[in-house]
Amino acid sequence: MKLNLGSGNKTLEGHLNVDKFAGKSTDIVFDLETTPWPWASDSIEAVSMIHALEHMGRDTDTFLNIIRELYRICVDGAVVTIHVPHPRHDNFLGDPTHVRGITPQQLTLFDKLKNDEWVAGGVSSATPLAHYLGVDFHIGNVTTVLDPYYYEQYAAGTLTLDAINLKARELNNVIAEYHIAWVVRKAAARVAHV
C-alpha cells in the first residue's frame, strides 16, 4: 500500500489519500498529529508528503511521534517522498499554517549510521535522535529547487553553483524548496531476507 499523507487537494493515483480535512480528493480523513496511526506496522511500501510535513508537529513531541509512526508503518526500503519549502523562503515564511521548517540536515538526525559516525568522531553537537527514537532513515536523494530569479541566472550561466551556495547561506529566497527521498532502514528485515 502507498500513502499520500497530508494530501489536501493533491490526489495521487495508486495511493490512499489522507488528510485532516475532508475534500474531494481525500480517501481517509485522519489527523496525522494523532498517534498511533491506523495502519499496521510494516505495511506501507511508499509514502508521499508533498508540501505537508511543514504543516505538522509544532510541538516537538508531536513531531517526533510522527517520525516514529512513519518508521513503524513502513517496510524496510520504503521511500518517504518529502517536498517542503525552504525555511528561509517567503513561501515558507508567508504561510501561517507552516509550523516547522524541514531541512535535509534535520532529517539526517534520524539516521543511525550517521549518529554512530558522529559519536565515533566526537561530534557532541549532533543529537542521536535515531537511537533515542528507535528509527533509522537515510537520505537517498535531495533535489534543491532554486527560486526562479536565481534559477534563471544559473541557467544563463551568469551565476555559478558555488555562488548560489554562498548566497543560500546568507540570503532568503535563494532556495525555494527541497525534494527529499528519505529511505527506511530496518535491520531486522534485512537480516530476515539474508
DSSP string computed for 64-81: HHHHHHHHHHEEEEEEEE
Query: What does the block give as the cell for 52?
Result: 505537508
Q: What is the mean pLDDT of residues 147-168?
A: 96
Q: What is the pLDDT of residue 192?
A: 42
Q: What is the pLDDT of residue 193?
A: 39
Question: Rounded to two decimals, what is the model's pTM?
Answer: 0.93
pLDDT band at 188 (very low <50, low <70, confident <90, very high): low
**Euclidean distance between CA atoms 44 and 42, whole angstroms:** 6
Q: Which residues pair with 74 in a beta bridge?
A: 44
Q: Which residues are CB-neighbours of 61 under 8 A, at least 6 positions away? A: none
Interval 26-55: pLDDT, tens: 999 999 999 999 999 999 999 999 999 999
- The strand pair at 74-85 and 16-19 is best described as unpaired
Q: What is the pLDDT of residue 124?
A: 75
pLDDT band at 84 (very low <50, low <70, confident <90, very high): very high
pLDDT band at 127 (very low <50, low <70, confident <90, very high): confident
Q: Which helix (H) or strand (E) holds 91?
A: helix 90-93
- 191, pLDDT greater than 60: no
Interval 94-106: pLDDT, tens: 999 999 999 999 9
The domain made up of 2-193 is a member of CATH 3.40.50: yes
